[in-house]
């Protein structure tokens, strides 16, 4: 009887095929990477276009169980993008032999649209070097990235508007300076130099405040209790709208940023002057309705047509050939930043009436509308 020489040899000492061992080790590493990857990993059979393997992260990301996903197709989780992704795979992976990365909207089990980044590559599941039979795809949740991108786009839009505010509101003191320079040259009256100095000081103050606001990221700065009547009269004087008439029927106090409220009133006064002419009368008063707490600014000019009242606060909307379309948009922006609501309607005297309803929730008035 022939003796089996290997019968007493430990298994660890027996000869092992190096190629088989390497393949087994590589397969085990792949399984661990696949299973414990923080990104969702999914394997798609290219012939049946169905999922043949998914890792736990994929189940967590999409809200499905493993069994549910293995009974589904890629189009079930991204129906709107399936054709585009298929074309990218054919073009970049099958033809060029490279992987691809793109943004993709996936549908979760709850029907939520989830922004993801997909990275895909071909798999030769048979290992025979022929055409790929599978695709491995990695999905990463990019909700935070998309939100950040949206905030940046919104910030850019706000900055554009902010630049418009600066440009628009500096025009008034500049026009005052130019007008008084002309008069001073004609008669040398020192009062004109006082007006020029006041306007220049106002511009310097505005620029300093606006620079600070851009750094802090708020359209509205510190808010204090402000008496409406004296501020409205000061704004009227600063705007130099004579011989128009200002009537004030309010002694109320408003919690606001003084300089932004100054700009709001100035833009409303100038709007009345522009559209109502030199004979216009402007009134400032307190809203007398039981359900409202606020104030109004109205005039007895020609008014705003009813079909335009819904669009007067839009950026760029103007009814004059030389208008900028910024004045009332700035008014709405300042009101919103304070947490106020502004509406426009017909005045009793036939002109235009702007009603500003104050919010009792002062936490809204923190300048969040700029968010620089």
CATH topology of domain 17-141: Beta-Lactamase (3.30.450)
Specify whether the CB–CB gap between 151 and 370 falls below 8 A. Answer: no
- Name, in order, each residue with C-beta under 8 angstroms of 73's C-beta and a sequence gap of 6 or more: 49, 50, 51
Average pLDDT, the chain: 79
* pLDDT tens string 14-33: 455 666 666 666 677 777 88
Cβ atoms within 10 A of the Cβ of 200, count?
A: 14
In the chain, the largest separation of any two C-alpha atoms, in whole Å, equals: 137
H or E element in which residue 236 lies? helix 228-239
Does domain 148-364 sit in CATH 3.40.50.720? no
- Burial status of residue 265 (CB atoms within 10 A of its CB: 0-12, 13-18, 19 or more): buried
Domain ranges of the chain: 17-141, 148-364
Q: For residue 320, is pLDDT > 90?
A: no
The residue to which tokens 């902010």 are assigned: 162
Q: In terms of DSSP H, where are the helices of 56-141?
A: 56-62, 66-70, 74-77, 82-88
For residue 155, what pLDDT is reported? 75
Q: For residue 114, is pLDDT > 60?
A: yes
For residue 139, what pLDDT is reported? 93
- Cα separations (Å) of 202 from 172, 233, 314? 10, 16, 27
pTM exceeds 0.75, yes or no: no
Q: At what angle do helices 327-338 and 258-276 cross, to 10 degrees?
A: 150
Distance CA 299, CA 284 (A): 9
Q: In terms of DSSP H, where are the helices of 90-189?
A: 143-187
Beta bridge partners of 299: 282
Q: Which two tokens stand for residue 40?
A: 């969702």
Segment 217-243 shows an average pLDDT of 87
């Amino acid at each position: 009887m022939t003796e089996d020489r290997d019968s007493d040899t430990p298994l660890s000492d027996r000869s092992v095929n190096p190629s088989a061992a390497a393949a087994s080790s590589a397969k085990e590493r792949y399984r661990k990477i696949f299973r414990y990857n923080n990104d969702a990993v999914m394997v798609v059979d290219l012939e049946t276009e169905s999922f043949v393997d998914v890792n736990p992260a994929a189940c967590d990301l999409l809200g499905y169980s493993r069994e549910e996903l293995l009974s589904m197709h890629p189009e079930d989780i991204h129906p709107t993008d399936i054709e585009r992704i298929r074309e990218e795979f054919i073009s970049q992976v099958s033809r060029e032999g490279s992987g691809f990365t793109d943004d993709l909207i996936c549908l979760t089990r709850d029907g939520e649209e989830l922004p993801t980044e997909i990275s895909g590559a071909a798999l030769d599941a048979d290992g025979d070097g022929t055409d790929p039979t599978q695709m491995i795809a990695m999905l990463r949740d990019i909700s935070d990235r998309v939100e950040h991108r949206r905030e940046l786009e919104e910030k850019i839009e706000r900055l554009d508007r902010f630049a418009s505010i600066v440009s628009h509101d500096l025009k008034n003191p500049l026009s005052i300076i130019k007008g008084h320079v002309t008069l001073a040259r004609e008669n040398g009256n020192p009062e004109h130099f006082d007006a020029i100095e006041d306007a220049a000081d106002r511009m310097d103050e505005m620029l300093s405040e606006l620079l600070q606001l851009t750094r802090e990221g708020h359209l509205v700065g510190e808010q204090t209790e402000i008496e409406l009547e004296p501020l409205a009269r000061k704004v009227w004087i600063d705007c130099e709208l004579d011989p128009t008439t200002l009537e004030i029927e309010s002694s109320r106090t408003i919690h606001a940023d003084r300089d932004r409220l100054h700009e709001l009133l100035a833009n409303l006064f100038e709007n009345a002057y522009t559209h109502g002419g030199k004979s216009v009368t402007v009134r400032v008063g307190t809203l007398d309705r039981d359900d409202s707490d606020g104030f109004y600014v109205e005039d007895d000019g020609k008014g705003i047509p009813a079909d335009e009242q819904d669009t007067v606060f839009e950026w760029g909307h103007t009814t004059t050939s030389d208008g900028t379309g910024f004045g009332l948009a700035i008014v709405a922006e300042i009101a919103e930043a304070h947490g106020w609501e502004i509406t426009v309607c017909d005045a009793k005297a036939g002109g235009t009436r702007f009603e500003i309803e104050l919010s009792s929730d002062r936490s809204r008035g923190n300048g969040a509308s700029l968010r620089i």
